[in-house]
């Protein structure tokens, strides 16, 4: 069964006719071509598909697209505008927090949400906020360091 969904993604309004079984992740990637949001597990365990839905971080694989009517979704592609990286992205680049990079978009979105909510998080708060973003390359050391470096600037 299909249904009509109106949602805003990265500031652009879309009217989509989607199968009710499909996830927000699938629609972002397949219908809108926003492949920066990654599918790591499709079960909400790895965090690679984290996007901001009405300002809150969610795993897009667990959100049904049909449930997102009227929502504002921000994906990784909506952060770097005009070619200049968001401070979170820039910090991850400069601190060496990116290796294979597959988890990176989800990490960025979760860190952006954390810093909007809590501009001066402690290290423990950063680690807890990112506990849902699995990374197999970095041991999280430089990811945490990068997010904390933004706290210092705040």
Q: List residues near other proteins by CB under 8 A.
A: 29, 33-43, 45-46, 48, 75-77, 79-80, 85, 89-90, 92-96, 98-105, 108, 123-124, 126-128, 130-144
CB of 124 to other proteins, least distance (A): 6
Tell me whether residue 64 or residue 134 sits nearer to other proteins (CB atom): 134
CB of 80 to other proteins, least distance (A): 4
Tell me whether residue 29 or residue 53 sits nearer to other proteins (CB atom): 29
CB of 71 to other proteins, least distance (A): 19
Tell me whether residue 6 or residue 30 sits nearer to other proteins (CB atom): 30
Q: Which among 57, 14, 56, 53 has a CA at the least distance from the CA of 33?
A: 14
- Please tell me the distance from the alpha carbon of residue 117 to that of residue 3, in angstroms, as a whole number: 34
- Please tell me the distance from the alpha carbon of residue 74 to that of residue 97, in angstroms, as a whole number: 22
Task: Calculate the CA 23 to chain-centre distance.
Answer: 15
Q: Rounded to whole angstroms, what are the CA distances from 127 to 15, 109, 113, 131, 143?
A: 37, 14, 14, 6, 9
- Whether residue 51 contacts residue 37, with contact meaning beta carbons closer than 8 Å, is answered with yes
CB of 18 to other proteins, least distance (A): 13
CB of 39 to other proteins, least distance (A): 6
- Whether residue 31 contacts residue 18, with contact meaning beta carbons closer than 8 Å, is answered with yes
Tell me whether residue 102 or residue 149 sits nearer to other proteins (CB atom): 102
Tell me whether residue 8 or residue 35 sits nearer to other proteins (CB atom): 35
């Amino acid at each position: 069964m299909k249904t009509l969904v109106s949602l805003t993604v990265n500031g652009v309004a879309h009217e989509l006719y989607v199968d009710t079984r499909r996830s927000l992740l699938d629609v972002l990637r397949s219908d809108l071509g926003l492949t920066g949001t990654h599918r790591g597990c499709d079960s909400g365990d790895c965090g690679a598909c984290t996007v901001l839905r009405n300002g809150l971080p969610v795993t897009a694989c667990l959100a049904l697209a049909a449930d997102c009517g009227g929502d504002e979704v921000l994906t990784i592609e909506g952060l770097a505008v005009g070619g200049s990286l968001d401070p979170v992205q820039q910090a991850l680049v400069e601190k060496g927090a990116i290796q294979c990079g597959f988890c990176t978009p989800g990490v960025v979105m979760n860190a952006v949400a954390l810093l909007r909510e809590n501009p001066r998080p402690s290290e423990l708060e950063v680690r807890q906020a990112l506990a849902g973003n699995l990374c197999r390359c970095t041991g999280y050391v430089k990811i945490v360091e990068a997010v904390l470096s933004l706290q210092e600037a705040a």
